[in-house]
Amino acid sequence: MTRRIDTAAARDVLIANDRGGYTVPTSRLYPFQWNWDSAFVAMGWATFDEERAWRELERLVEGQWADGMVPHIVFHAPSDDYFPGPDVWGTHHSPPTSGISQPPVLASAVKFVFDHAKGADAAKRAEGLYHAALASHRWWAIARDPEGTGLVAILHPWESGMDNSPAWDEAFARVPAEPRTEIRRRDTAHVGAAMRPHDDDYRRYIHLVDIFREAGWDASALWEKAPFKVADLAINAILQRAEQDLAHLAERFGSEAEKAEISARIEKRARALSALWSEERGLYQPLDLISGARIDVSTSAGFLPLFAGLPSADQARRMAAEIVRWRGKVAHGVPSTSPFDPRFEPKRYWRGPVWGVVNYMIAEGLAAYELTEEADAIRADTRGLISSQGFAEYFDPTTGEGLGGGSFSWTAAIALLLSR
C-alpha cells in the first residue's frame, strides 16, 4: 500500500525555502526565484497560506520587463552558489534578472490561487496579476512568434525548463561550444555530475547567453541572431492551458477586446499544434524552426498537450496507451524521455528521470479526458515516490531513487496538490 504523503513535512519545505515572499527551489543549488517553479509553489502555498501564495506571484512579477517578459530567474538577493549570475546575464534590470523566460504557468497559478482564495483583497490582487500575465502572453506572441504562426519558440534550452532534453540534441549541436564567458559551474559542487547536464552542454548554453547579451537583449535582435530556435511542446502546451486560464480571469477582470485577443490566440495555437501530432509515436513532437523539420523524439513534453485539452478523444486514448507502454518498461513513471530511446538516461536530469510537476500536469490532462485509471496510476506513482524518497528534485524511473536537489520546493508543492 502506498504510504500517505506527510503534508506537514511538505509545508515545512516551503517554509524553510522561503526567502521573504519568494521561495527558492532548494537551498544553495538554486538560491534565487525561478519562474515556473514559483508558479507551482504558489499553488502549493495556496493549500495552507493564501497570503503567502499571493506574495509568491507578486514577487515573481517584480522581475517582469517593460515588454512583458517574465524572466526565468529573478535575482532578489546576491549569492555565489549559482552560475551564471546577474553579472553574466548583464540585463541591467532592477531587480537583476536573467534575459530569457520559462514555461508560462503564471496565469494558471493566478487562477488556481484566486479560485481557492477567501481573503477580502483577493480580487484586487488577482486583477493586478491578470494584467501581468496578459502582458507576458503578449510578449510570447510578439517576441517568440513574430511571424504569427501560432507556435511560440524557445531560443535557449533553458527557456523550455527541460534543459538537456534529447529533444534539443540535433538543433543544439548547431550552437558552437565556444563561449567567451568563463564557465564556473556551481551545480556539480552540490549534486553529482552524473545527474546534471554535461560540460559540453554548458559551453553551448553560455555561448547563447553571450550572443544575446551582446545583442542587448532586444527581442527582435535575439530572434534574428539565435542559432537555436525550436517550437517546444512544453512551452506551447503550457501556454495554451495558461491562455485558457487567462480567458477565465478575463471574464472577471478583462475588457471585451482582451477577451477576443486571448480567444484568437487560443484558436490559432490549437490549429498550429495539431500539425505536431505523431500517430506513429502516440504523442506530439517539437518543431525545429531553423530546419523546418519536426524533431522525431518522444519525451514527456509530448504528453503535455493533454493538459491543454488539445488532442481529440482518440488521440488522448492513444497517448494514454503510450504512457502505459512506457510505464511497463520502468518501475516508475512517467520518465522524461522514452525508456525505449537509446538516449534514455535514468539519472541525468531531463534525459530520463521522473518529475513530479510533469506528472501532475499529465495526470490532470488525462483526468479531463476521463481517462481516470491512467491518471490515478500516475498520481499514485508520484505520491509513492515522494512518500518513500522525500521531496527530491526528480526520481530515477528504474529504481525510484530520489535525485538532484533535496527538500525541493515544487516537489513539496505537488505533494500538497496531490493530497487535497
**245/405 Cα distance (integer angstroms):** 31
The active-site residue out of 201, 243, 261, 393 is 393
Active site residue 50: no
212 to 64, 221, 226, 330, 418: CA distances (angstroms): 18, 8, 8, 40, 39
C-alpha cell at 15: 517554509
Q: How far apart are CA 357 and CA 229, in angstroms?
A: 25
263 by Cβ neighbours in 10 Å (0-12 / 13-18 / 19+) ranks as middle
With beta carbons less than 8 A apart as the criterion, state whether 223 and 155 touch: yes
Read off the C-alpha cell for 300.
514527456
State yes or no: is 210 an active-site residue.
Answer: no
Calpha distance 108→57 (Å, rounded): 11
Three cell numbers at 214?
551582446
φ, ψ for residue 112 (rounded to 5)?
-60, -50
The grid coordinates of residue 404 equal: 538532484
User: Which amino acid makes up residue 377?
Assistant: A
- Helix or strand holding residue 57 (H, E): helix 50-60
Among the listed residues 163, 243, 258, 345, the single catalytic one is 163
Cβ atoms within 10 Å of 3's Cβ, excluding its own: 10
Kindly list the catalytic residues: 163, 393
